[in-house]
């Protein structure tokens, strides 16, 4: 995991979280004391395993980018809890996980956010969209032809909003009102657009695109700036 990310682009990795006990034990040894304590607080064993694998993989990816041992990395929480590397590193990253899948996005000098969520067709998403989303987004959800498409449209918008919120280090409530429909919402594999918050709560412009992920999930990436960076990946981290 030493891909060259000095170019002005974003590297994205998918991380399967269903790893054997030996892998979980090995990854647990590179976590910080605080991360280990957070993992131990998980109520269910599968949640503890997912936490350890996701955060262990994040450390391995960052360590590969910086050419340092993963256990030596010091991560500190920023505003609203978004982590960053301690010190003067310009490496920016974000982690998201849902069920047995995690995504890690890494780039230099530009804030980045990523979000992945499982598709759940049984959720009653239309009332939520009507209440909290901009009218155009709510109409896009309501125009779906059935519950599966409605849930998929909702989640496509949700992951885009979450990605922007995570990139900006903002609160989720600040992102619900973002208009994240793009001209490419006709169904291309990777759709991109520029998102701005008219309320000013999330300042600046954010380049947003959907990410290809396995069936059953949807994902999005957001990077600071109106010029979308090149994206490499997702690369699958199958061996940890």
Average pLDDT in the chain? 87
Local confidence band at 189 (pLDDT 50, 70, 90 cut-offs): very low
Question: pLDDT at position 179, please?
Answer: 86
The per-residue pLDDT for range 162-184, each reduced to its tens digit, is 999 999 988 888 888 888 886 65
With a cut of 60, say whether residue 190 has pLDDT above it. Answer: no
With a cut of 50, say whether residue 113 has pLDDT above it. Answer: yes
Question: pLDDT at position 184, please?
Answer: 59
- For the chain, what is the total number of helices (H) and then of strands (E)? 7, 10
Question: pLDDT at position 106, please?
Answer: 95
pTM for the predicted model, two decimal places: 0.88
The arithmetic mean of pLDDT across residues 215-239, rounded, is: 83
- The alpha carbon dihedral of 111, 168, 206, 127 has a sign of positive
Tokens of 206: 């954010």
Q: Which of 32, 13, 40, 110 is nearest to 73 (CA)?
A: 32
Local confidence band at 239 (pLDDT 50, 70, 90 cut-offs): low
Note the Cα 40 to chain centre separation in Å.
Answer: 23
Question: pLDDT at position 86, please?
Answer: 86
Spatial contact of 15 and 53, defined as CB atoms under 8 Å apart: yes
The arithmetic mean of pLDDT across residues 90-105, rounded, is: 95
CA 3, 4, 7: angle at the middle one, nearest 5?
Answer: 140
With a cut of 70, say whether residue 110 has pLDDT above it. Answer: yes
């Amino acid at each position: 995991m030493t891909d060259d990310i000095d170019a002005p682009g974003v590297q994205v990795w998918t991380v399967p979280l269903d790893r054997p006990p030996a892998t979980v034990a090995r990854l647990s040894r590179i976590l910080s004391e605080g991360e280990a304590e957070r993992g131990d607080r998980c109520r269910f064993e599968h949640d503890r395993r997912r936490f350890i694998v996701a955060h262990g993989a994040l450390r391995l990816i960052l360590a590969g980018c910086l050419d340092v041992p993963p256990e030596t990395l010091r991560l500190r929480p920023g505003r609203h809890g978004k982590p960053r590397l301690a010190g003067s590193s310009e490496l920016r990253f974000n982690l998201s996980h849902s069920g047995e899948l995690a995504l890690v996005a890494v780039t230099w000098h530009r804030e980045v956010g990523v979000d992945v969520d499982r598709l759940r067709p049984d959720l009653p998403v239309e009332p939520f969209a009507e209440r909290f989303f901009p009218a155009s987004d709510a109409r896009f959800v309501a125009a779906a032809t059935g519950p599966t498409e409605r849930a998929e449209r909702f989640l496509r918008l949700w992951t885009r909003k979450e990605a922007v919120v995570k990139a900006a280090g903002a609160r989720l409530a600040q992102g619900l009102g973002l208009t994240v429909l793009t001209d490419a919402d006709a169904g291309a594999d990777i759709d991109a657009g520029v998102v701005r918050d008219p309320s000013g709560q999330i300042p600046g412009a954010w380049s947003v695109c959907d990410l290809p992920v396995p069936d059953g999930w949807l994902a999005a990436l957001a990077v600071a700036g109106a010029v979308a960076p090149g994206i490499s990946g997702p690369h699958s981290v199958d061996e940890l």
